[in-house]
């Protein structure tokens, strides 16, 4: 039975099996990987020894030992999720990760077309078996949204730390610069003015990392995500300049980079978010009702105006 030798060769070993299309054995290996990961820590938070996890025959002992050591190392380093996501693309037979998606949920168009009559599996099918399995399938789903790039487009992705710092500094200056702003409500402008450079340094580094991913054609965005579109740029430099221009001129956009991710907001304060949504709905409903009433009143006023009597022959209209 094939098994990786040193621990550092664990990932290359899996990638080689996938590259040589040894999918059946890989499928068995992945069953072991996920089983160990799912049961590595008991409900009391204690690490479970490998012998207590054993659910495989003797032929798989060598691989199971290497997998256990690798997964335990990442557990102790707090990097389990990153580790599983890193090897996710070696898991075979994973068309199921996106096979139930509708056409518009896989589209890369700016405005995906939702086809009338398309069969969509609406019932819960239970394809994801655990958190570790979610990490794998989530990574594979995001990999569906990749874009072809040319050597010219990616030729300037590698930058020295000094060059990266200069790029980040320019972004911070653009965010803080009010000389060319074209939009932004007063509270957004004030928020930017009162936010420290240290905060925007963190934001600028986030933008840099995401710009590199975008230019490389791997934005790490789910195929079904809405309000997302990727524009092509001839180089990372050109993309970064466009991003700087956005932050310099749109203070609404600059303020938006401080918003917490929506899923994190909902998970951390569900009742508060529900109250906010209800309040917003009531406000919008009251506004719509008031506008409708104003429109109806205006129409009634026009309808009730007296009709002017016809002018007698040779009679002129009064001067305005």
Q: Give the dihedral sign, CA 144/150/151/156.
A: negative
User: Who contacts 255 (Cβ-Cβ below 8 Å, separation ≥6)?
Assistant: 184, 188, 189, 191, 192
Cβ 195 vs Cβ 172: under 8 Å: no
CA distances from 178 to 166, 192, 258 (A): 20, 10, 17
| Burial call 270-292: b when 16+ CB within 10 Å, e when fewer | eeeeeeeeeeeeeeeeeeeeeee
DSSP 196: -
Cβ 122 vs Cβ 47: under 8 Å: no
What is the pLDDT, as a whole number, of residue 320? 47
| Burial call 139-166: b when 16+ CB within 10 Å, e when fewer | bbbbbbbbeebeeebeebeeeeeeeeee
CA distances from 232 to 78, 205, 214, 238, 304 (A): 36, 21, 9, 10, 58
Rounded CA separation 154/237 (Å) = 10
Does residue 313 register a pLDDT over 60?
Answer: no
Q: What's the full length of the chain, in residues?
A: 320
What is the pLDDT, as a whole number, of residue 194? 93
For residue 148, the SS3 value is: coil
Rounded CA separation 15/31 (Å) = 16
Q: Tokens 């401080």 sit at which residue?
A: 258
Other C-beta atoms lying within 10 Å of the C-beta of residue 99: 9
Rounded CA separation 62/59 (Å) = 7
What is the pLDDT, as a whole number, of residue 89? 93
Does residue 303 register a pLDDT over 80?
Answer: no
Please state, for a pLDDT cut of 70, what percent of the chain lies above it: 80
For the entire predicted model, the pTM comes to: 0.76
Does residue 200 register a pLDDT over 80?
Answer: yes
Rounded CA separation 31/54 (Å) = 12
The chain-wide mean pLDDT, for the chain, equals: 86
Name the band, by pLDDT with cuts 50, 70 and 90, for residue 19.
very high
Does residue 221 register a pLDDT over 80?
Answer: yes
For residue 183, the SS3 value is: strand
Does residue 25 register a pLDDT over 70?
Answer: yes
Q: Give the model confidence (pLDDT) of 128-138 as tens digits.
A: 899 999 999 99
238, HSE (Cβ side, Cα atoms, 13 Å): 10
Structure tokens, 70: 């690798």
Rounded CA separation 297/92 (Å) = 66
Query: Across the strands, what pairs with 47?
Result: 41
């Amino acid at each position: 039975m094939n098994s990786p030798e040193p621990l550092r060769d664990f990932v290359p070993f899996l990638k080689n099996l996938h590259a040589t299309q040894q999918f059946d054995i890989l499928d068995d290996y992945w069953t072991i990987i996920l089983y160990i990961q799912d049961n590595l820590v008991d409900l009391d938070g204690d690490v479970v020894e490998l012998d207590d996890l054993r659910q495989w025959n003797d032929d798989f002992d060598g691989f199971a030992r290497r997998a256990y050591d690798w997964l335990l190392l990442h557990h102790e380093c707090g990097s389990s999720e990153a580790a599983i996501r890193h090897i996710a693309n070696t898991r075979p037979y994973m068309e199921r990760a996106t096979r139930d998606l509708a056409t518009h949920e896989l589209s890369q168009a700016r405005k995906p077309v939702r086809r009338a009559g398309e069969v969509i599996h609406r019932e819960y099918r239970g394809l994801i078996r655990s958190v570790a399995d979610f990490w794998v399938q989530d990574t594979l789903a995001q990999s569906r949204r990749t874009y072809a790039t040319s050597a010219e487009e990616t030729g300037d992705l590698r930058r020295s730390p000094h060059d990266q710092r200069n790029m980040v500094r320019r972004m911070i200056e653009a965010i803080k610069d009010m000389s060319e702003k074209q939009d932004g409500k007063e509270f957004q402008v004030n928020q930017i003015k009162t936010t420290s450079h240290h905060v925007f340094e963190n934001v600028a580094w986030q933008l840099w990392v995401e710009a590199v991913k975008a230019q490389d054609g791997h934005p790490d965005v789910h195929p079904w995500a809405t309000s997302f579109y990727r524009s092509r740029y001839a180089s990372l430099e050109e993309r970064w300049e466009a991003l700087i221009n956005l932050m310099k001129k749109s203070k609404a956009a600059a303020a938006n980079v401080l918003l917490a991710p929506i899923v994190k907001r909902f998970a951390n304060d569900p009742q508060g978010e529900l109250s906010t949504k209800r309040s917003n709905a009531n406000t919008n409903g009251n506004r719509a009702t008031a506008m409708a009433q104003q429109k109806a009143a205006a129409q009634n006023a026009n309808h009730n105006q007296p009709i002017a009597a016809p002018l007698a022959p040779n009679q002129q209209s009064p001067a305005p």
